[in-house]
Amino acid sequence: MTQPDPSAVRIDAALPPDLLRAAVEALAHGIARPTLPGRDADAGISADYAERMKRDLTEGEGRLLESIAGTRERGLALCRTGRIHDGGSLVAHAREMLTRGKTSREAFVLADSFLRAAEGFVYFSSGRTDAAVSSMLLALDRCRELRDSWNYPVEGRRIHIACNTERVRVGAGHGQASSVALAQLLNLIDTADRRFWPHPHLEYASEPDLLDDEARWELTDQALAVLPRLDLEALDQVVAAFPWPNADATSPWAARARCFTEALHADASGDPETFLTSCAAFFPSGPQRLPRAFGSLSKRLLKVIG
């Protein structure tokens, strides 16, 4: 990720000089930190599911699901490049392959869980917000069934889908409702407390699989990436719903998430002192754990001071 050069910014003399200096120096320190190797969470999920497919499904089912997955991913890749019609056609073809195929319930739900999420992305790319949200909620329901019926590890996947669902809703102007859900997701990632799951009608009957620290960092970054799209009133709700960090108990990802949220809120409310103080606390750890949030806040700081 290319980061701005803080030494090249023009300093606004109207801002508190000590706080401004601390924020800029913290940004420079964070940018200078060595890059850490990232973990491909999707690759880990794919490897785990491939092992389950070999163990639980027939050879024919495995081949069919691999073919569906390849077609689906080619379609999504086209959509990401702007070729939405062509990409949507491939995703629709993957759906036809599943509909025509003869599979067990487990094989069907496994393939359908990924297809529903892919179809949601196609709908989103086409501007069909309601259809996108409906498809993503169906994907969450498939995750629930995979966990309850066959004990698949789906916690990270369903939080990822839930974050994308709120991204779609915020883009459609539903920031007030999404702000509560995003705060709940941040609390869920931090505590694993099931009370924070924002879709209780899609909750497991069984126990969820546990997230490791790397997954928590990644999912925290995904949730935070939606927050810059919120207005001040919605950010008020996030700040109120996401608890203040306790130095003795709060996880590092929750503490940085709170710091990022407070910086956004302060900037939106015209409070430069709190904004700069939050930036100075957020940036020194660098972009490695929260690259989306780091990049977003970097641009916001440079806009404020330049």
Report CA Rg, the chain.
21
Region 193-205: mean pLDDT is 94
Q: Tens digit of pLDDT for each residue in 279-306?
A: 999 999 999 899 999 999 999 999 887 7
Q: Tens digit of pLDDT for each residue in 13-27?
A: 467 889 999 999 999
Q: Tens digit of pLDDT for each residue in 132-173?
A: 999 999 999 999 999 999 999 999 999 999 999 999 999 888
Whether the pLDDT of residue 69 is over 80: the answer is yes
How far is 81 from 106, CA to CA, in rounded Å? 32
CB 103, CB 111: distance < 8 Å: yes
Q: Tens digit of pLDDT for each residue in 41-59?
A: 555 666 778 888 888 999 9
Q: For residues 87, 90, 95 and 97, what is the CA-based torsion angle, rounded to 10 degrees?
A: -170
Q: Which residues make Cβ contacts (< 8 Å) with residue 11, sequence separation at least 6?
A: 20, 24, 305
How many Cβ atoms from other residues are within 10 Å of residue 285's Cβ?
A: 18
Locate tokens 């909750």: which residue?
203
Q: Tens digit of pLDDT for each residue in 208-223?
A: 899 999 999 999 999 9
What is the structure's pLDDT at 250?
72
Region 263-271: mean pLDDT is 94
String of DSSP letters for the chain = -----GGGSPP-TTS-HHHHHHHHHHHHHHHHSPPPPPP-HHHHHHHHHHHHHHHHS-HHHHHHHHHHHHHHHHHHHHHHTT-HHHHHHHHHHHHHHHHHS---HHHHHHHHHHHHHHHHHHHHHTT-HHHHHHHHHHHHHHHHHHHHHH----HHHHHHHHHHHHHHHHHTT-HHHHHHHHHHHHHHHHH--GGG-S-GGG--SSPPPPP-HHHHHHHHHHHHTTGGGS-HHHHHHHHHHSPPP-TTT--HHHHHHHHHHHHHHHHHTT-HHHHHHHHHHHGGG-SSS-HHHHHHHHHHHHHHH-
Q: For residues 157, 146, 66 and 64, what is the CA-based torsion angle, rounded to 10 degrees?
A: -150
What is the structure's pLDDT at 5?
52
Among 240, 280, 203, smallest CA distance to 17 is for 280
Region 228-236: mean pLDDT is 93
Q: Tens digit of pLDDT for each residue in 75-133?
A: 999 999 999 999 999 999 999 999 999 999 999 999 999 999 999 999 999 999 999 99
How many Cβ atoms from other residues are within 10 Å of residue 8's Cβ?
A: 8
Whether the pLDDT of residue 10 is over 50: the answer is no
How far is 117 from 135, CA to CA, in rounded Å? 6
At 245, the pLDDT band (50, 70, 90 cuts) reads: low
Count the residues in the chain: 306
pTM: 0.89
What is the structure's pLDDT at 247?
47
User: What rounded mean pLDDT belongs to the chain?
Assistant: 89
